[in-house]
């Protein structure tokens, strides 16, 4: 129980205002309800104006409520704090707060102190305003993938070159064309240096810089 600072009346811990004097209780800046990224989203659509009110956490609805207060501000049938929306284990529940006009789910009054579960397809009546109810679970975010079409790329330019590789020491000699020959390898000794004269040039390709 918690005590009203103005009239010292005892109230339920979950009460948003004093039942005796209607004074609002100071609310903590931190909500007791943890809202996950995949928590259901409650959408209320006004049947007359088609205005949508999107709710994704616990809140108070009314002329001085937490959500779309300006939309209700000019309707004096709606109380300052008319009803509360409570998220409880991924279910949305409606709690009636007003002392003047009713809150109804599917045309049935929600009694004070009772939390009525509200589901997709229900209707919610706040004073003389009726809303269609939609409850949906957002799809998890999918990382954006970028496709890359390699077929549109032009092939890299290449340059043909010719080389002769010494069969004895492996030294590479660049040459001008395929028919060119090297008589002696300058890395081999006298016994092996002429072995390179038997080797034909090979064609190699390199990317043009």
Query: pTM value?
Result: 0.51
34 band by pLDDT with thresholds 50, 70 and 90: very low
pLDDT at 37 over 70: no
Average pLDDT (134-162) is 69
Asked if residue 167 and residue 111 are part of one domain, the reply reads: no
Asked if residue 186 and residue 106 are part of one domain, the reply reads: no
Amino acid 153: pLDDT: 61
Instruction: Read off φ and ψ for residue 85, nearest 5 degrees.
Output: -105, 125
At 160-195, the pLDDT tens digits run: 789 998 888 889 999 998 889 999 999 888 888 998
Helices (H) and strands (E) in the chain, counts: 1, 15
Amino acid 100: pLDDT: 93
Average pLDDT (33-51) is 79
Q: Which candidate, 166, 33, 32, places its Cα nearest to that of 91?
A: 33
Q: Which candidate, 32, 16, 12, places its Cα nearest to that of 24?
A: 16
**Domain end point (choices 107, 136, 165):** 136
Q: What is the CATH number of the domain that holds 93?
A: 2.60.200.20
Average pLDDT (151-167) is 76
Asked if residue 172 and residue 131 are part of one domain, the reply reads: no
Q: In the chain, which residue ranges form alpha helices assigned H by DSSP?
A: 69-72
Number of domains in the chain: 2
């Amino acid at each position: 129980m918690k005590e009203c600072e103005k009239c010292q009346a005892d109230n339920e811990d979950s009460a948003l205002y004093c039942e005796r004097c209607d004074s609002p209780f100071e609310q903590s800046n931190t909500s007791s309800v943890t809202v996950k990224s995949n928590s259901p989203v409650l959408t209320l659509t006004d049947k007359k104006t088609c205005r949508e009110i999107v709710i994704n956490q616990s809140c108070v609805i009314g002329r001085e409520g937490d959500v779309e207060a300006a939309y209700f501000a000019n309707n004096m049938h709606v109380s300052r704090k008319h009803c509360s929306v409570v998220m409880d284990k991924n279910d949305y529940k409606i709690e009636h707060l007003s002392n003047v006009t009713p809150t109804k789910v599917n045309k049935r009054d929600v009694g004070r102190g009772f939390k009525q579960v509200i589901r997709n397809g229900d209707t919610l009546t706040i004073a003389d305003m009726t809303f269609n109810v939609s409850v949906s679970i957002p799809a998890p975010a999918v990382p954006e993938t970028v496709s890359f079409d390699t077929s549109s790329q032009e092939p890299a330019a290449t340059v043909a070159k010719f080389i002769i590789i010494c069969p004895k020491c492996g030294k590479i000699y660049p040459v001008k064309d395929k028919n060119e020959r090297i008589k002696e390898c300058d890395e081999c000794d006298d016994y092996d240096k002429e072995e390179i004269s038997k080797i034909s040039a090979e064609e190699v390709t390199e990317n043009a810089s």
